[in-house]
Amino acid sequence: MASRRQILTLLGALGLPLATMTDLIAASNDKAAAKPLRVRTITTGLELSPRGESERLDAALDFLAAAKRSFESAGYEVQTLRIATNPWLAGASARDRQQLLARVQELDKIVAGRGVILGLGPVLTQDHSDDGLADWANELIGTTRQVLFSVVIASPERAVHAKGAMVAAQITAALANTLPGGIGNFRFAAAANIPAGTPFFPVGWHKTGAREWVAIGVESASVVEDAFNSMQPGDDPTARLKQTLEKALAPVERVGRAVASEHDRGYLGIDTSPAPGKDRSIAAAIEALTHVPFGSAGTLEACSSITAALKSLDMQTWGYNGLMLPVLEDPLLAQRAGEGRFSMRDLLLYSSVCGTGLDVVPLPGDTSVHAMAAIMRDVAAMSSRLRKPLSVRLFLVPGKKVGDTARFDDKYLTDSMVMKLD
């Protein structure tokens, strides 16, 4: 393949101006570069048990590979492939759970070899204490690479799981020291009323007995930003964003439906939550609407306008369909946090207008278990009261205190100031 320099030399020999040459080079790039969004995840559901089911696992892996080819052929960059299982570890005794760890490690090797992420679903679904689960979780994350899991802290049947929240906080504290920099907590979250089939992890799970399915998650913060940057005086931001998102997501839906039909899987839909990335900021999108730094007055109204558009889309949607504000995945969010423009409580407030909860929020490494459990109960209460899916993924940074800079050697995480819990 010719280099950029070689192409410039060739086009220069034709007497073309620099601007034209640059445009031609851009047009000749990978088709994915021209797309305003990425496919963050293609997720499929799979029922597992301790016995194995290697044949169906192989089929799921083959399906994901084929689905990725279909999306890439349509010009999309596919970031991750994921399998969400039923909660086959929930309810196991401490002894059985330890024996099943070897099975999870075996599964991890299989999916890692195919570049796939495995979500075990919730390992605790009932509201009861489990003093041994944190140590087990520590061993799980320390001995696997591609496995994620959750704990239920709110459900339609019981509302807030206060004991479950304490277990989730204990796991968060344990995982802070499992991997360097505290990144073990990137693979765990507390789940409040998360529906089966949600494509985003760590909270995605498959309902036992349900048909195998596919759901799509998108990285579309840049679409939101483009919509607001193109607004004319008098435009309604929700209407403009709805129109822009439907245009961008309609081709994604067509490909998703086609691959589901071809491989005889149920098509659940798109989780339209506009996930950001290091180069696609949801904070920048919100600032394009408010014209003030994220966290200033007007931010809550902008969050409401975005989520109103997400809920009104004329397409099949599934999962959160809310506003993701992951501090450690969005450099501008991290910058605004460092400037002191918003707090943990502000993030909770934004979740009240259809956000997705608290995600990868950097906290001091010595944050107490009781304090984390309390914030998890707050999120669980909000989820139950508003009847909406929320999750909590707190990120304790060992050795760091409020105001320190947390630095990460990870392709998905950005450096950030450590925030105060309350």
- Give 315-325 pLDDT, tens digit per residue: 999 999 999 99
42 forms beta bridges with: 81, 216
Measuring CA to CA, how many Å separate 209 from each of 46, 56, 127, 341?
A: 10, 14, 23, 47
Report how far residue 293's alpha carbon sits from residue 291's, in angstroms, rounded to the nearest whole number: 7
The whole-number pLDDT of residue 55 equals: 82
Q: Mean pLDDT lowest for which of 2-11, 95-104, 118-127?
A: 2-11
Report how far residue 354's alpha carbon sits from residue 378's, in angstroms, rounded to the nearest whole number: 15
Q: What φ, ψ does residue 364 adopt, rounded to 5°?
A: -55, 145
pLDDT in tens, 351-400: 988 789 999 999 999 999 999 999 999 999 999 999 999 999 999 999 99
Give the HSE-up count for residue 346: Cα atoms under 13 Å, Cβ half-sphere.
21
141 contacts 188 by C-beta, under 8 angstroms: yes
Q: 115's torsion region: left (phi>0), alpha (psi -120 to 50) or beta?
A: left
Instruction: Select from 283, 309, 278, 287 the least CA-distant residue to 228.
Output: 287
103 contacts 57 by C-beta, under 8 angstroms: no
Q: What is the pTM of this model?
A: 0.90
Kindly compute the dihedral angle of the four CA atoms of residues 228, 221, 416, 120, in this order, to the nearest 10 degrees: 150
Give me the helix-helix angle, 237-262 and 54-73, nearest 10°: 130
**Mean pLDDT of the residues in the chain:** 91
Residue 257 scores a pLDDT above 90? yes
Determine the average pLDDT of the residues in 286-302: 97
The whole-number pLDDT of residue 15 equals: 43
The alpha-helical segments, DSSP class H, found in 54-192 are 54-73, 94-113, 133-143, 162-175
Report how far residue 201's alpha carbon sits from residue 256's, in angstroms, rounded to the nearest whole number: 19
Report how far residue 280's alpha carbon sits from residue 226's, in angstroms, rounded to the nearest whole number: 11
Q: pLDDT class for 32, splitting at 50, 70, 90?
A: very low
292 contacts 298 by C-beta, under 8 angstroms: yes
The whole-number pLDDT of residue 35 equals: 64
Determine the average pLDDT of the residues in 64-92: 97
Determine the average pLDDT of the residues in 402-411: 93
Q: Which residues contact 18 (CB under 8 A, 6 or more apart)?
A: none
